[in-house]
């Protein structure tokens, strides 16, 4: 194997072997199939097909609701841990639907790298591009898998050019496909001078691997049909001349992405990609925090909540907070400090997500994802430490793009509704605003589908039918500034003011003009479309 890019040789071995990443892709590119093969090679499942139910469930709303009912499946798939060679992989699932971009964004704060899956026939699609831009905000290293090479796909140079052009990132081929569509026989492994040949007969079988001594090795002709060999030689020469060579440091900095070609459904190219994640993907990275950054090798344990999932078991109102460990070596039963409330918290039944199963986590290292069942104390953005008052930063909340009034079908149940809404707000599923004047709640989401999901969940989990109605407001902005300036502003604009679920002041309006006016008339307050979760 080629050299491994490590910036921090001093990391404890258990931390250094961890790779925590997410897969980003456009729907249908093959994320679910690839995940399945990862788990298969990781020994976490016996047969491909077990993750499928979830992937298919994303397709329609009714199936989505079914998935919501069947919380067990979707939750255990939120984070999956498995071993591969000497590595421990933690794969964090990104929500598939484009409506849930905020959730996706926060998920990406919990990983150190992303695998970008593209369809060889379609190239870079809209959702891939959006997710890529989010990764770029954090300079996340990206490894690329070009899938479905067993089908008619675009010319290899063209695909690489498109990624370079559309995403403004250097692309270096880690492998090179031989033949197209039905003639596709496998890849030339450019990093190890090997031929990797596909076994079409058995989809769960690891492909055959043949070591080659450069392009003039006569072994090449034994395995590659005559009609493909000349093109392969030409392509590879041109690729080596025109495309940048792999620079591990540049990959770690997010400026270069290595690309592997394969066919997830035929298990082809997957193992090479996994080797690549091990070799070129980063170890657990330092975490930005206030008042100081957290390094993974610190002996004291710390972690932060990037996702909360409620009502995993409808009979109990408990939730699971997904915590990304930022430093140290956590052991079950440890007492950690919940920094926001300064309260101690005994973490006695943390959960580790091993593919289809949940398991009690006896220990966890920096880089791991554990689930902590709780009764609502843990919120997105919260930090847990061994006592130090340190707060992980960079987990934002975005202003919702759609607002609606929410009312209980039965007016006597308004208090129940408040409880339900607050809980979903804490889960990050919606923003809930309580206007200063009048009664009722205004609920804000990013995509229309979320209203429907929310309505169904409130009914399902709380037995409370609700109505969503058009709101007079279309935009929400958080009001920042010195407290007296914020108070004076709020007093003078009561009909526009609400509190969010954390008690922060929000300005509601339907006109951009209003926002501009406030910025002009109240120089001491700023209206912001984002807020740091804390």
3-state secondary structure of 284: coil
Which of 20, 32, 267, 393: binder of ligand GDP (CB under 6 A)?
32
Least separation in angstroms between residue 143's CB and ligand GDP is 16
- CA 275, 277, 279, 283 torsion: positive or negative? negative
CB 108 within 8 A of CB 21: no
Least separation in angstroms between residue 252's CB and ligand GDP is 26
The site that binds ligand GDP (CB under 6 A) totals a number of residues, namely: 16
Least separation in angstroms between residue 161's CB and ligand GDP is 22
- CA angle 54/78/442 to nearest 5° reads 95
CA 113 → CA 119, 294, 353, 480, distances in Å? 20, 18, 19, 33
531 carries a ligand binding annotation:
no
At 364, give phi and psi (nearest 5°).
Answer: -155, 145
Which part of the chain contacts ligand GDP (CB under 6 A), choosing from 83-91, 145-153, 452-460, 519-527? Answer: 145-153
Of 81 and 153, the one with the shorter C-beta distance to ligand GDP is 153
CA 531 → CA 331, 365, 402, 479, 526, distances in Å? 33, 29, 17, 10, 12
Which of 81, 94, 147, 493: binder of ligand GDP (CB under 6 A)?
147
3-state secondary structure of 222: helix
Which of 92, 264, 364, 490: binder of ligand GDP (CB under 6 A)?
264
Site for ligand GDP in 196-215 (CB under 6 A): none
Q: Is 28 in the site for ligand GDP (CB under 6 A)?
A: yes
Q: Which residues contact 155 (CB under 8 A, 6 or more apart)?
A: none
Least separation in angstroms between residue 409's CB and ligand GDP is 36
d(CA 284, CA 328): 11
Task: Give start and end residues of each alpha helix (H) in 428-511.
Answer: 448-462, 483-492
29 carries a ligand binding annotation:
yes
Q: Is 150 in the site for ligand GDP (CB under 6 A)?
A: yes
Closest Cα to residue 272, out of 362, 351, 198? 198
Which of 11, 15, 22, 29: binder of ligand GDP (CB under 6 A)?
29
d(CA 450, CA 456): 10
Q: Is 263 in the site for ligand GDP (CB under 6 A)?
A: yes
Site for ligand GDP in 470-509 (CB under 6 A): none
Q: Is 151 in the site for ligand GDP (CB under 6 A)?
A: yes
Q: Is 148 in the site for ligand GDP (CB under 6 A)?
A: yes
The annotation places the binding site for GTP at 25-32, 93-97, 147-150
What residue numbers does the annotated binding site cover? 25-32, 93-97, 147-150
Footprint on this chain of ligand GDP (rule: CB under 6 A)? 25, 27-33, 55, 147-148, 150-151, 263-265
């Amino acid at each position: 194997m080629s050299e491994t890019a490590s910036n921090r040789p001093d990391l404890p071995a258990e931390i250094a072997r961890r790779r925590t990443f997410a897969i980003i892709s456009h729907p249908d590119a093959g994320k679910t199939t690839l995940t399945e093969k990862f788990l298969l090679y990781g020994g976490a499942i016996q047969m491909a097909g077990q993750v499928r139910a979830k992937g298919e469930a994303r397709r329609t709303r009714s199936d989505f609701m079914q998935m919501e009912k069947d919380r067990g499946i979707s939750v255990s798939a939120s984070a999956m841990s498995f071993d591969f060679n000497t590595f421990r992989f933690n794969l964090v699932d990104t929500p598939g639907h484009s409506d849930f971009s905020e959730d996706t964004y926060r998920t990406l704060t919990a990983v150190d790298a992303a695998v970008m899956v593209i369809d060889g026939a379609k190239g870079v699609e809209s959702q891939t591009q959006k997710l890529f831009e989010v990764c770029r905000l954090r300079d996340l290293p990206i490894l690329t898998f070009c899938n479905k090479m067993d089908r008619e796909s675009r010319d290899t140079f063209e695909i690489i050019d498109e990624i370079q052009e559309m995403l403004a990132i250097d692309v270096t081929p880690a492998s090179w496909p031989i033949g197209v569509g039905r003639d596709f026989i496998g890849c030339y492994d450019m990093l190890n001078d090997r031929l990797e040949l596909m076994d079409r007969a058995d989809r769960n079988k690891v492909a055959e691997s043949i070591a080659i001594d450069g392009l003039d090795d006569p072994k090449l002709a034994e395995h590659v049909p005559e009609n493909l060999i000349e093109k392969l030689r030409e392509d590879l020469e041109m690729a080596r001349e025109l495309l940048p060579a792999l620079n591990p440091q540049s990959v770690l900095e997010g400026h270069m992405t290595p690309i592997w070609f394969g066919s997830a459904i035929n298990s082809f190219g997957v193992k090479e990609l996994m080797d690549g994640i091990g070799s070129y993907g980063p170890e657990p990275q330092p975490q930005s925090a206030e008042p100081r950054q957290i390094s993974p090798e610190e002996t004291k344990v710390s972690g932060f909540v990037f996702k909360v999932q409620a009502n995993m078991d409808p009979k109990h109102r408990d939730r699971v907070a997904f915590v990304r460990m930022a430093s140290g070596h956590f052991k079950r039963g440890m007492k950690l400090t919940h920094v926001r409330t300064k309260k101690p918290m005994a973490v006695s039944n943390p959960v580790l997500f091993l593919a289809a199963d949940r398991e009690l986590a006896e220990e966890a290292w920096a880089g791991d994802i554990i689930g902590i069942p709780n009764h609502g104390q843990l919120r997105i953005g919260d930090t847990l430490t061994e006592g130090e008052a340190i707060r992980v930063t960079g987990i934002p909340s975005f202003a919702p793009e759609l607002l609606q009034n929410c009312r209980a079908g039965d007016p006597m149940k308004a208090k129940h509704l408040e409880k339900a809404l607050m809980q979903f707000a804490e889960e990050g599923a919606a923003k809930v605003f309580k206007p200063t004047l009048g009664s009722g709640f205004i609920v804000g989401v990013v995509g229309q589908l979320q209203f429907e999901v929310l309505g169904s969940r409130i009914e399902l989990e709380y037995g409370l039918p609700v109505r969503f109605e058009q709101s007079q407001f279309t935009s929400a902005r958080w009001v920042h500034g010195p407290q007296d300036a914020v108070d004076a502003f709020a007093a003078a604009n009561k009909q526009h003011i609400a509190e969010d679920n954390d008690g922060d002041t929000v300005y509601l309006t339907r006109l951009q003009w209003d926002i501009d006016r406030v910025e002009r008339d109240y120089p001491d307050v700023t209206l912001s479309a984002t807020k740091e979760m804390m």
